Amino acid sequence: MEIVGVRVEVPANTPVVLLREQSGKQRLLPILIGSPEASSIHTALEGIVPPRPLTHDLLAAIITQLQASLVQIVVTEVRDHVFYAELHLNSAAGTEIVSCRPSDAIALAVRTGSPIFATESLLQQAGQQPPAEDIGEDQAIIDEFRDFLDDLSPEDFES
């Protein structure tokens, strides 16, 4: 899978990460995510390095420090509108699979350069056929969401 982008779903103003098959049917897999995770993915995609590590940066650093590697992430299923994913890690101790949210897995994959996969059963269930026009025509929506993310600050998430 490849990350097409992170955008805001209208009218709910909900961030969505959009994945696309790299071959075959090129089905799209939209996954609703939270604003902090959207910001984290966007930041990593843009190559922005924060002055101090944020949560996903920290986890990537811990994986490296423990001499492990994130081999791949797999978005596995959706149940009751909730998506599930797995981190596939290799270390001296062997291979470990850790269940997690897709947004966290994707944020880590972007930081570590790890491949992103989705199960065929998930793509059959939740995958969407690409629109007739090129997905690149949605650039205005993506730019609008980038502007939204650029204006976010940590204070926006205080309770």
Domains of the chain: which residue ranges?
2-154
Q: What angle do CA 42, 44, 46 make, to 5 degrees?
A: 70
Give the whole-number percent of the chain exceeding pLDDT 90. 73
Calculate mean pLDDT across residues 31-54: 93
The three-state (H, E, C) secondary structure of 81-136, written as one string: CEEEEEEEEEECCEEEEEEECHHHHHHHHHHHCCCEEECHHHHHHHCECCCCCCHH
Is pLDDT of 135 > 60? Answer: no
Q: At what angle do helices 55-65 and 35-45 cross, to 10 degrees?
A: 60
Q: Residue 137 has what pLDDT?
A: 54
- Taking 60 as the threshold, does the pLDDT of residue 8 lie above it? yes
For 2-154, CATH gives: 3.10.690.10
pLDDT digits (tens, 9 = 90+) for 60-116: 999 999 999 999 999 999 999 999 999 999 999 999 999 999 999 999 999 999 999
Measured between alpha carbons, how far is 25 from 28 in angstroms, rounded to an integer? Answer: 9
Looking at residue 153, its pLDDT comes to 67
3-state secondary structure of 121: helix
Token pair for residue 102? Answer: 């897709």
Model confidence band, residue 131 (pLDDT cutoffs 50, 70, 90)? confident
pTM of the model: 0.81
Burial tier of 58 (Cβ tally within 10 Å: 0-12, 13-18, 19+)? exposed
Task: Give the length of the chain.
Answer: 159
Cα–chain center distance at 59: 15
